């Protein structure tokens, strides 16, 4: 029987309507059992369909970060990843995936850059659309986020983005608009920040005028979690759903209606949208929530391995240092902590529990073992921001087998940890984050929890321990208090910036001796919230760090191990502490002593650097090393993907979807990031974001947008006429020939760039307008053709409030292999005027 949502709407009481407009719990909308209306369940997000728990729930496919997906320049590959995410979302019993992120990498220091596809809005719109298309083909609703201008984490709940309408439309709203037009995403998420003085959840210009009226969007708009800043204003602006629960709307809407601030009828449109979302998700036919499961398969692993390798970018390859030939290797050094403990993805909402996690050391060892090569390892210097969590079996839960800790919960009156606990369980590792995962009976109350485990050090020494927490925590070793972080005042970047500063101490411990570790914690501290957020400060959690005393010079050790080896592969980069939701980076430099280690090793042997990061880094050692691979965050298959590229199983074909600057000061927004004034950031660079700034202002980057080397070589030649003409009925077709002029099979990304009227050509690249990835055998050539879309030819006219492209306008179009390598150039004339909203 078909569900009539209008009939359901007419049967709802006022209180039931209000309940539907806000989350019923952390990850679900509110059900109405009386009318058989089920909830819908949502899940993060950026690195895969995680389910309810951050790291302790059902396993998930850990996908490559969005920057790597963009580096593939491959629509089909991104769509297949979207399909995989659809299957994983269904396996988690969810109907909505809180992804993709289609904000831009405005600054190279953005803490959440790894979630964004690119600095380019058009590329983001094309590949974000492929992601949405794949995801929604599985019946799962995509959520475009964060709408809009959420390009920094610093003071993200408060910061006011001051921006011109032209820059807003042509740059930051464009990918959202393209995806709405092409793929009809079923959900939007408003961002935390303000735009031109108004929080995005209550911004009528963004939500009502642009999204609803101009773009004709029909789906729901939900708040980012805890990011609802009003009751009446947000509802009238077009925010349908406040997330999560317990929400502010349930406390505020009824008094507002009774006081005449808003009419009950104004609730009907957003309630109807929520009902339509429930209907389109199939929940009326299948109201029972399925248990969370993984969706692992050999096919999924193979896809993620291939995509991870094809998004890897070869930045330098002096004298064909790569690919490595295992037959010719006698001794190989694999160096860096990330070689055995790789960074699969960034921090924050991107955290999840992967099906498995390959690592570069094991993958490289597997390749060379059949050829008799020796593999030597050095971990190098530490690179942690917080003391590392205990994940290597040094700490076991009370069962003596499970790596991690045992956790027990008490209700409010038992904060002295007396009496029988309400519930007991285990958590892998030493990060306890309760974001809706605490026992339901104590959810929303002030409660206590105790974490226990057996710590067995591997070495004797003066070892460091640390605590970082929301609420109060005390750490004991064998019942002796060693860290007291119960009363704290200063916040840090931990727990989405609502956690305490990390408190550390040193304790003398003996190798092989078992110590009883205990942390007593109380949830829900007194309010310390000067941010506009109703969610994170009401959570609970604790983080236990541990580092055994380091008694040797790790850089010198790495150099000595590399000395005498045929080659050293250094796996370096960031971690999910340095690139994470909640805070921005402060520098382009690699953390710890990694730069010094690279220079030391490069002085004694042939050196290959593999960098894991979601954004640009500085490379003071670039001239000293033989090859550089930008691996990004490759997800669960990262070890295999890196080995595939190193040994030529995969010919690298990734291209940079962002610009690597030589200096931080060269970035277009450097003077306006993260602030221009107190809680204000001015986007004064306008539309000159990323490569548009570098090319138009003649600033030489370290590596330009679209750049990427191969183990073969290609030649691109324009075959179109000298002048092309364009109308909406007969779009101009730009054609070129690409030939593999090398000796091995490979893929080239042919790129089209356009310079608008009134601009002279220097050295090229105004706007990416097309791309195609071509697979070619040695000596093979293919003709590639492109059609320009309206966004490539139009610009936003602020005076008219429309996109326009004027008849007779003359454009310069170039085709090449990067934004600074565009050998083929033709003119294009627009034979008719166009305008649109």
Reply yes or no on domain 395-547 having CATH 1.20.120.430. Answer: no
Q: How many CA atoms lie within 13 A of 544 on its CB side?
A: 28
pLDDT level of residue 764 (50, 70, 90 thresholds): very low
Per-residue pLDDT, 59: 93
pLDDT level of residue 756 (50, 70, 90 thresholds): confident
Neighbour-count burial of 293, counting CB atoms closer than 10 A to its CB (0-12 exposed, 13-18 middle, 19+ buried): middle
Q: Output the CA angle 386-111-652, nearest 5 degrees.
A: 105
Per-residue pLDDT, 250: 83
Reply yes or no on domain 39-244 having CATH 3.40.50.880. Answer: no
Mean pLDDT, rounded, for 609-618 = 98
- Report long-range pairs for 756-763 (Cβ below 8 Å, ≥24 apart): 756/793, 756/795, 756/809, 756/811, 757/806, 757/809, 757/810, 757/811, 759/696, 759/812, 761/812, 761/814, 761/825, 762/695, 762/696, 762/698, 763/695, 763/698, 763/820
Per-residue pLDDT, 526: 45
pLDDT level of residue 824 (50, 70, 90 thresholds): confident
pLDDT level of residue 763 (50, 70, 90 thresholds): very low
Rounded distance between C-alpha atoms, residue 628 and residue 518, angstroms: 44
Q: Are strands 472-477 and 503-509 parallel, antiparallel or unpaired?
A: unpaired
Domain boundaries, given as residue ranges, for the chain: 39-244, 308-379+564-659, 395-547, 714-836
Per-residue pLDDT, 341: 94
Residue 636's nearest CA partner among 68, 25, 229 is 68
Q: Tell me how crowded residue 563 is: count the other CB atoms within 10 A of its CB.
A: 14
Q: Does residue 352 surpass a pLDDT of 60?
A: yes
Helix axes 638-646, 360-368, angle to 10 degrees: 40
Q: What is the pLDDT of residues 704-726, one digit of tens each?
A: 999 999 999 999 998 887 788 88
> What string of DSSP letters covers 608-656?
EEEEE-SS----TTGGG-SEEEE----GGGHHHHHHHHHTTSS------
Q: What is the pLDDT of residues 507-524, one digit of tens each?
A: 999 999 999 999 999 876
Between 1.10.510.10, 3.40.50.10490, 3.30.300.30, 2.60.40.10, what CATH number should domain 714-836 receive?
2.60.40.10
Neighbour-count burial of 198, counting CB atoms closer than 10 A to its CB (0-12 exposed, 13-18 middle, 19+ buried): middle
Rounded distance between C-alpha atoms, residue 71 and residue 202, angstroms: 35
The 10 Å CB-count burial string (b at 16+, else e) for 15-41 is ebbbbbbbbbbbbbbbbbeeeebbbbb
Mean pLDDT, rounded, for 300-304 = 97
Residue positions annotated with a catalytic role:
224
Same topology between domain 39-244 and domain 395-547: no
Mean pLDDT, rounded, for 323-352 = 95
Q: How many CA atoms lie within 13 A of 735 on its CB side?
A: 6
- Structure token pair of residue 340: 């055995």
Rounded distance between C-alpha atoms, residue 27 and residue 243, angstroms: 8
Contact between 734 and 770 (Cβ < 8 Å) = yes
> What string of DSSP letters covers 779-819?
T-EEEEEEE--HHHH-EEETTTTEEEE-TT-EEEEEEESBT
Q: What is the pLDDT of residues 79-89, one digit of tens each?
A: 999 999 999 99
pLDDT level of residue 427 (50, 70, 90 thresholds): confident
Look over the chain and give the mean of its residue pLDDT values, rounded to a whole number: 93
- Structure token pair of residue 806: 């004027």
pTM over cut 0.75: yes
Q: Does residue 193 surpass a pLDDT of 50?
A: yes
- Structure token pair of residue 447: 């409660």
CATH class (in words) of the domain with range 308-379+564-659: alpha beta
Q: Are strands 141-147 and 96-97 parallel, antiparallel or unpaired?
A: parallel
Q: Does residue 760 surpass a pLDDT of 50?
A: no
Contact between 108 and 664 (Cβ < 8 Å) = yes
Neighbour-count burial of 280, counting CB atoms closer than 10 A to its CB (0-12 exposed, 13-18 middle, 19+ buried): middle
Q: Does residue 442 surpass a pLDDT of 60?
A: yes
């Amino acid at each position: 029987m078909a569900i009539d949502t209008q009939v359901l709407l007419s049967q709802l009481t006022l209180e039931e309507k209000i309940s539907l407009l806000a989350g019923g719990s952390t990850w679900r909308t509110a059900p109405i059992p009386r009318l058989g209306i089920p909830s819908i369940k949502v899940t993060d997000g950026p690195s895969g369909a995680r389910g309810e728990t951050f790291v302790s729930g059902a396993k998930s496919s850990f996908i490559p970060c969005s920057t790597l997906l963009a580096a593939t320049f491959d629509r089909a590959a991104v769509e297949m990843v979207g399909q995989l995410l659809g299957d994983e979302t269904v396996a988690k019993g969810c109907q909505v995936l809180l992804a993709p992120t289609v904000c831009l990498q405005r600054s190279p220091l953005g803490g959440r850059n790894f979630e964004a596809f690119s600095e380019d809005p058009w590329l983001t719109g094309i590949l974000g659309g492929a992601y949405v298309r794949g995801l929604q083909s599985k019946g799962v609703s995509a959520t475009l986020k964060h709408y809009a201008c959420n390009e920094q984490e610093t003071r993200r709940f408060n910061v006011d983005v001051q921006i011109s309408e032209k820059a807003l439309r042509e740059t930051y709203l464009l990918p959202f608009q393209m995806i709405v037009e092409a793929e009809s995403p079923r959900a939007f998420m408003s961002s935390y920040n303000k735009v031109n003085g108004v929080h995005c959840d209550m911004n009528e210009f963004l939500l009502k005028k642009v999204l609803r009226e101009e773009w004709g969007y029909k789906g729901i708009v939900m708040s980012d979690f805890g990011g609802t800043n009003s009751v009446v204003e947000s509802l009238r602006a077009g925010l349908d759903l406040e997330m999560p629960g317990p929400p502010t709307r349930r406390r505020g809407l009824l008094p507002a209606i009774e006081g005449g601030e808003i009419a009950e009828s104004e609730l009907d449109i957003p309630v109807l949208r929520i009902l339509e979302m429930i209907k389109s998700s199939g929940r009326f036919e299948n109201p029972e929530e399925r248990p969370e499961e993984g969706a692992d398969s050999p096919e999924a692993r193979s896809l993620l391995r291939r995509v991870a390798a094809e998004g890897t970018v070869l930045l330098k390859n002096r004298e064909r240092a790569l690919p490595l030939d295992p037959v010719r290797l006698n001794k190989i050094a694999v160096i860096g902590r990330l070689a055995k403990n790789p960074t699969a993805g960034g921090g924050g909402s991107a955290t999840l529990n992967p099906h498995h996690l390959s690592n570069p050391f094991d993958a490289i060892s597997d390749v060379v073992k059949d050829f008799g090569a020796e593999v030597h390892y050095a971990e190098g210097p530490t690179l942690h921001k917080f003391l590392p969590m205990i994940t290597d079996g040094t700490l076991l839960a009370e069962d003596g087998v499970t790596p991690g800790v045992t956790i027990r919960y008490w209700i409010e009156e038992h904060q002295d940890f007396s009496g029988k606990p309400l519930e007991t369980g285990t958590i892998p590792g030493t990060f306890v984050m309760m974001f809706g995962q605490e026992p339901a009976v104590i959810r929303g109350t002030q409660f206590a929890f105790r974490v226990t485990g057996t710590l067995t050090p591997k070495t004797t020494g003066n070892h460091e321990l640390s605590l970082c927490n929301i609420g109060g925590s005390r750490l004991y070793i064998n019942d002796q208090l060693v860290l007291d972080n119960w009363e704290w005042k200063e916040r840090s970047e931990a727990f989405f910036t609502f956690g305490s500063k990390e408190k550390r101490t040193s304790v003398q411990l003996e190798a092989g001796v078992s110590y009883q570790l205990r942390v007593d914690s109380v949830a829900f501290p007194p309010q310390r919230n000067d941010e506009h957020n109703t969610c994170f400060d009401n959570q609970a959690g604790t983080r236990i760090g541990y580092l055994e005393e380091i008694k040797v010079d790790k850089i010198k050790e790495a150099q000595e191990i590399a000395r005498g080896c045929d080659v050293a592969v250094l796996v370096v980069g960031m971690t999910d502490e340095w690139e994470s939701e909640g805070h921005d980076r402060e520098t382009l430099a690699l953390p710890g002593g990694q730069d010094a280690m690279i220079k030391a090793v490069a002085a004694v042997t042939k050196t290959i650097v593999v960098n894991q990061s979601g954004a640009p880094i500085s490379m003071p050692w670039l001239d000293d090393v033989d090859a550089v691979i930008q691996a990004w965050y490759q997800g669960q298959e990262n070890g295999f993907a890196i080995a595939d590229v190193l040994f030529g199983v995969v010919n690298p074909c990734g291209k940079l979807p962002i610009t690597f600057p030589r200096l931080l000061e060269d970035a277009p927004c450097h003077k306006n990031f993260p602030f221009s004034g107190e809680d204000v950031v001015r986007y004064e660079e306008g539309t000159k974001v990323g490569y548009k700034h570098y090319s138009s202002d003649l600033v030489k980057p370290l590596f330009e947008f679209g750049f990427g080397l191969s183990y073969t070589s290609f030649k691109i030649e324009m075959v179109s006429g000298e002048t092309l003409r364009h109308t909406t009925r007969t779009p101009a077709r730009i054609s070129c020939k690409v030939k593999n002029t090398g000796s091995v099979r490979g893929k080239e990304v042919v790129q089209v760039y356009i310079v608008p009227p009134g601009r002279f050509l220097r050295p090229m690249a105004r706007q990416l307008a097309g791309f195609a990835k071509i697979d070619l055998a040695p000596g093979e050539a293919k003709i590639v053709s492109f059609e320009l879309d309206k966004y490539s030819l139009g610009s936003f006219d602020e005076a008219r409030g429309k996109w326009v492209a004027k008849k007779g306008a003359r454009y310069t179009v170039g085709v090449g292999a990067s934004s600074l390598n565009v050998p083929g150039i033709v003119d294009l004339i627009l034979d008719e005027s166009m305008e649109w909203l």
